[in-house]
Structure 1
Amino acid sequence: MENDQLIATEIFCTNYGIEYSFVQSLQESGLIETVVIRETQFLPVPQLQKIERVIRLYHDLDINIEGIEAIDTLLNRIDYMEKEIIALKNKLRFYEGNTY
C-alpha cells in the first residue's frame, strides 16, 4: 500500500480525541485493519469512513465493541444482499428484454 494512503494511528487518535487502546481493540476484534511500518502503526485512508462510523457508535450511542461487531456483521450482510438484489434485477431485465 502506498504511504500516502496511510495515516499514523497516533495522529488519528490525537485528531479524533480517542485512546490509542481503542484503535488497538478495534484491530484485535477484526473491525479494522492496520499496517505496521518500522514499528509505527498506520490506518489505511480508505478505512477512515468505517473507523469514523465505529467511533460514533462507540461514543455517541455508547455501544460496546461486541455490539459494534454485531452491527458491522449486519451491515456487511445488508451490503452483500443489496449487491445481490442489483445483480438479480439486472438478470431479470436481461431475460425480460429477450421475450418475443
Structure 2
Amino acid sequence: METDLIIVREYCQKSHVDPSFIVSLEEDGLIDIREVDGERYLLESQLRDLERFVRWHEDLSVNIEGIGVIHELMGRLHEMQHELDQLRREVRVFRSNHFGYWEE
C-alpha cells in the first residue's frame, strides 16, 4: 500500500475522532477520502488540514459549515499575503531602479 495514505478507521481510533466527522468533512469537500479494496483512506498531505479542522471543531465548537468558511477565508488571506509580499518586492525594485536606493 502507498505510504501517503492513512486508514480512516485507524486515524479515528488513535485520534479519538468520530468517523462521522470525517465523513461530513468529505461531504463538504474539505477533505478527500480514497477507497481501496473496501478500506477508506486519507491522504497524508491532508493531515495538517484535518488536524486543524478537528481542533476547530472540538476546541472551539465550530460546525462543519463554519470550518468550511474559516478554511476558505484563511486560503484567501494566504493568497492576499502572498500578493502583498510580491507587490512589496516590485516596489523595492521600482524604487531602486528609479531612485537608486530604497528608503524604509
Give the TM-score normalised by structure 1.
0.90
2:77 maps to: 78
Q: Which runs of 5+ in 2 are unaligned?
A: 100-104
1:13 maps to: 12
2:68 maps to: 69
CA deviation string 1:56-98 (max 9, x = no partner): 1111111111111111111111111111111111211221221
CA deviation string 1:6-44 (max 9, x = no partner): 111111101111111110100110111222222221111
1:23 maps to: 22
Q: In structure 2, what is the Cα distance between the partners aligned to 1:29 and 1:67?
A: 11
RMSD of aligned residue pairs (Cα, Å): 1.4
1:55 maps to: 54
Q: In structure 1, what is the Cα distance between the partners aligned to 2:67 and 2:80?
A: 20
> In percent, how many aligned pairs have the same letter?
32
2:102 maps to: none
One-letter amino acid matched to 1:42: Y
Which is higher, the Rg of structure 1 or of structure 2?
Answer: 2
**Regions of 4+ moved over 6 Å:** none
Q: In structure 2, what is the Cα distance between the partners aligned to 1:62 and 1:47?
A: 21
How many corresponding residue pairs? 99
1:3 maps to: 2
